Structure 1
Amino acid sequence: MPSKPLSVRLPLWLVLYFILWTVLPFALSTSYPLDVPEGIYWGREWQWGYYKHPPLSSWILYSFYYIFGHIGPYILSQCTIALSLWLAYQLGRQLMSRSRAFLGALFLLAIFYYTWPSLEFNHNIAQMPVWLGLVYIFYLAIRQNCWRYWLLFGLLAGAGMLVKYTVALLIITMILYSLCTPYRRLWLTAKPWLAILIALLVFAPNIYWLMQHNWLPLTYASARSAEDASRNGHLAALGYLGTQIINHLPLLLILLFTRTRLSLRTPIQILLHKSDWRFLLWMGLAPTLILSCAGLIFGLGLRDMWGMPMWGLSGLIIVALIPEQVFADKSTSLLKAIVIWVSIVTILMVTYVEFGARIRHKPSRMDWPQTALASQADEQWQKLSSCKLDSVTGSDWVVLLVASYSNFAPSVMVSGDAAYSPWMSSRRLQEHGTLALWPDNEQPKVPWLQPLAQRPDLVMKQGEWTIAWGKLPDREPLKIRWQAYIPKRCLK
């Protein structure tokens, strides 16, 4: 007997899932994941660009951090995943039945990228709804050819480029699709050209910033790619493709365990327009294939996480391959399998965050004593100075942890090249001083720091802290060396 029709109402378990993935990592971890404090300190400076990435993702992250406090990054990350599911559903409704679109959107939770990596909000997570939103609006624009959709597409394309430059790959994919299909006639009208103009206008401030800062993010990305290419060469692209398949493994196992049969004939029968199947495959697969071919041909170093935003259509592609009778029989089983999977991955997440340090006998990035570090820094500065702590510098990870939990909300001067922290200057340091921090076994190279010790209007104090590892009480305590450069007018 066929199962009853799949309900497309928002299920309670999905709401509970997002609440748990927001609250539990925040409650159980003792420090932010790797990229979060970096994004916070970038966003705090409100620049039109940063030495690794364009600015929009960091602006949004800092806004959530400022409004919601320390839990803000976790709220934002899960809102991003939820928005991605909603956009996949909205696009699916344009292509197929509501029940198929609903299940296709939920299938995204069976892709690894949409679960575990969402603990850490970064530019890859931020791209997920951008890619889906662009595909959705592009579909409406070419189908209905309305001014509002083309204008919205231009705005979103420009904003997407302000999230991460790899969005350009999706835009190129869309242009190629339009040129290789009957939609090429649209280029004889003003609408797509106006969309491109709007996108360029939105993106223009970052282009100006790049020109003023020697194209720093592109230089950084080129160096990272060259580093990866030197290890694996042209074969890095094959490893990249293999990783993308592995990240779909939970979804493939769900299909296997529920014995859900797929058929290549089904899409033509169930999609509302015959050309929609070609659209789905092109938008869902072409970006990865283009990137992989470029890696094979030119020996580019491809990082696995670059694929995170590229699979927002995987669920819709899979659900479009399920024959009608099979879908009627298996939809409830597939939904139950998704619930089981998200329950398993939630339990694994809790185990990792709470007990991972003890299991591995060493801390992860989420196991550092962030609150203790920030409190110690604040107390030390207040003992020495009557002025606000304006900035921190030193070992990047320690400094980022302090900056994102300190009550002073200090700026960060990154180690290495002074160009990485354009908001800092020798004059600012002379006027306000700074606090330098680094682990006992490390001596970072910090711009402008050495001359400060010779300034007559600054007093240098130094010392060492010993801070226990909260989740590893038997581990040797963390030793932090510090140097405080205090303006004489502020010295206590």
Structure 2
Amino acid sequence: MSTQPAVSTLTDPRSASDARVPRALLVAAALYAAAWSLVPPWVTAGFPLDVVESLTWGHEGEWGYYKHPPMAPWVLYVFYRVFGRAGPYLLSQVCIGFTLWLVWLTGRRLMTRERAWLGAALTMGTVFLTRPALEFNHNVAQLPLWAGIGWALLAALQDGRLRQWLLLGLLAGLCLLTKYSGALLLACLGVYVLATPQRRVLRTPGPWLAVLLAVAVLAPHLRWLWQHGGLPFAYVSSRAGADVGHPRADAWGFLGMQFINHVPLLLIVLWAVLPAWRQARRAKPVEAGVRAATRLHTDWPGYLLVLALAPGLLTALLGLAGIARVRDMWGVPMWTFSGLLAVACLPTAWLGVARPRLSRGLLVWLVLISVLSGAYLAFIAQWRQRPVRTDWPSAALAAHAQASWDGVSQCPLDVVAGEYHLAGTLAVALSPRQPSVLIHGDPRYSPWVTPARLQAGGALWIWTDDDASDVPPEPLNRVAAQADLRPHDGTWQVPWPREPAGRPFTVHWRAYVPAACARARGG
């Protein structure tokens, strides 16, 4: 049952002739995505921390992990196995591509088709959809889900079809299965429905079926949370207690960083509208021009404002109230509708003049950030005078590890223990026979590494001189003391890929080999 007539289309000049997205824009988008997918693995030797972490989680196929729900690691692991080292970067671009498409679909329901594709394109004017995409994580994974929820609810409110409500429930469940912060968007949209005439839809079965489907999608993870004592929430609580500073300072920092990440979009829009504003000022009184500039060119202004602004402002409010310690990067999916909001603010009379400059300004920004990001990956180690995580020689580490393990054990290498990024980098590089990672810290972080598994297959513990502890992580330390695991020690001196003649990367290792796996001398 429809709850509101289909949105009327505000008529812009040229809207009929420019309804289609230009083919040149689609070609440029494909080239952009290819560059951001293929150049990073070409100029780097290893993965950043978030990618390594999620790849080690995805390998285990659990319904939850000690920091986050499981959806992002699952999908990332599949992309890595299919596309190799380009997989994580390609997945980021796939997420961005689906996000832009869903923003465009949303825009078509809110405004003219021309404004819709301009708004979708201008979404790339926020920094969050460019540089952060080099490190796929749960924030990037949320992008298409936030955009999809915004579109699905709008479609359900406008058309009232049951399948649209069910799609909304599916997307909501998947969003929460990706990261809990998706609840902020759902809360904002729930308040919108309750506080507007749209609350009449609550008398229909659609919204309630959507809630039931979302809960059903999330149910296996909820069961995992119960079995593991709400581990992610305990982890967040422990981290919050160790953080320095005050939640209010974090909240102001969050707001400042969100503004900074919108600076390119603001500059593009200002550069595009200034000529149109000058032209309008000469043609009619300034007051009329100001009134035209403050009108939102959409039939659902309240809905667009909630989508574009409410989650970010609610996040900052939680921090200012001292309820939560907010992080800057939480804002990555919160601004997927900023481009639509910017275009909705443009008066119809200005659009014809501003449109070419909007396109050119966006093109300049994307070329600039692409060059800067590529240069960062290629030369950051030289600029900082020390290697970064993406410089870690993952392939060489894997070769050394495999040779050392094969020299003392006849069984496959099943577990790598140590500091997360070091052990994870090694484990991921050993794919397709990727071992599991026993994280150096709380044994609850690696429930897949059981004492029985260690007794049967042993483990390879690795560490560097910078590690804070020289004791192997539990339960390996306990099993090694109680079971018949034979230790073998050694050190690898691995050259850095960008500085082969410099000081090598020194990694210490100890292989714990069960008696049944021990290789005979000379074998």
TM-score normalized by structure 2?
Answer: 0.90
Alpha-carbon distance change, 335 to 227 in structure 1, aligned in 2, over 3 angstroms: farther
Question: Could you tell me which of 464, 488, 512 is aligned with 1:461?
Answer: 488
Contact 1:458/1:488 (<8 A) preserved: yes
Displacement of 1:264: 6.2
The residue correspondences of 1:27-426 to structure 2 (distance < 5 A) are 27-228=42-243, 230-260=244-274, 261=277, 265=292, 270-271=297-298, 273=299, 276-298=300-322, 300-407=324-431, 408-426=433-451
Alpha-carbon distance change, 239 to 356 in structure 1, aligned in 2, over 3 angstroms: same
* Residue aligning to 1:481: 508
Match status 1:25 vs 2:50: no
* Structure 2, unpaired ranges of 5+: 1-12, 278-288
Q: Distance in 1 between matches of 2:20 and 2:307?
A: 27
Q: Distance in 1 between matches of 2:504 and 2:215?
A: 51
2:410 partner SS: coil
Displacement of 1:281: 0.4
Q: Distance in 1 between matches of 2:482 and 2:230?
A: 33
1:386 partner SS: coil
Contact 2:418/2:461 (<8 A) preserved: yes
Contact 2:295/2:345 (<8 A) preserved: no
1:461 partner SS: strand
Structure 1 stretch displaced more, 295-304 or 205-214: 295-304
* Structure 1, unpaired ranges of 5+: none
Contact 1:263/1:321 (<8 A) preserved: no
Alpha-carbon distance change, 6 to 150 in structure 1, aligned in 2, over 3 angstroms: closer
Deviations 1:39-68 (CA, angstroms, capped at 9, x unpaired): 011011111100000011111011111122
Displacement of 1:226: 4.2
Alpha-carbon distance change, 470 to 347 in structure 1, aligned in 2, over 3 angstroms: same
1:409 partner SS: coil
Q: Distance in 2 between matches of 1:376 and 1:58?
A: 27
Deviations 1:171-196 (CA, angstroms, capped at 9, x unpaired): 11111000000011111222211111
Structure 1 stretch displaced more, 64-73 or 165-174: 64-73
Q: Distance in 2 between matches of 1:263 and 1:84?
A: 32
Q: Distance in 2 between matches of 1:57 and 1:181?
A: 34
Amino acid in the other structure paired with 2:396: A
Deviations 1:126-166 (CA, angstroms, capped at 9, x unpaired): 00111000010010111111111111111111111100011
**For this pair of structures, how many residues does the alignment match?**
487
Alpha-carbon distance change, 266 to 97 in structure 1, aligned in 2, over 3 angstroms: farther
Match status 1:9 vs 2:22: yes
Q: Distance in 2 between matches of 1:182 and 1:267?
A: 24
Displacement of 1:7: 5.4
Q: Distance in 1 between matches of 2:247 and 2:334?
A: 23
Structure 1 stretch displaced more, 188-197 or 310-319: 188-197
Q: Distance in 2 between matches of 1:293 and 1:458?
A: 54
Alpha-carbon distance change, 458 to 98 in structure 1, aligned in 2, over 3 angstroms: same
Q: Distance in 2 between matches of 1:459 and 1:162?
A: 41
- Provide the identity percentage: 40
Amino acid in the other structure paired with 2:506: K
Contact 1:361/1:472 (<8 A) preserved: no
Alpha-carbon distance change, 6 to 341 in structure 1, aligned in 2, over 3 angstroms: farther
Deviations 1:215-256 (CA, angstroms, capped at 9, x unpaired): 01111223334444x413423211111110100011111123
Contact 1:186/1:192 (<8 A) preserved: yes
* Residue aligning to 1:427: 452
Displacement of 1:301: 1.6
Contact 1:266/1:320 (<8 A) preserved: no
Contact 2:305/2:341 (<8 A) preserved: yes
Structure showing greater Rg? 2
Structure 1 stretch displaced more, 251-260 or 449-458: 449-458
Q: Distance in 1 between matches of 2:48 and 2:350?
A: 42
Match status 1:450 vs 2:463: no
Cα RMSD for the two superposed structures: 1.8
Alpha-carbon distance change, 423 to 269 in structure 1, aligned in 2, over 3 angstroms: closer
Q: Distance in 1 between matches of 2:402 and 2:241?
A: 40
Alpha-carbon distance change, 349 to 263 in structure 1, aligned in 2, over 3 angstroms: farther
Q: Distance in 2 between matches of 1:446 and 1:177?
A: 49
Contact 2:66/2:235 (<8 A) preserved: yes
Amino acid in the other structure paired with 1:215: G
Q: Distance in 2 between matches of 1:310 and 1:488?
A: 54
Displacement of 1:325: 2.2
Displacement of 1:6: 7.5
Contact 1:466/1:479 (<8 A) preserved: yes
Amino acid in the other structure paired with 1:74: Y
Displacement of 1:5: 4.2
Q: Distance in 1 between matches of 2:452 and 2:18?
A: 68
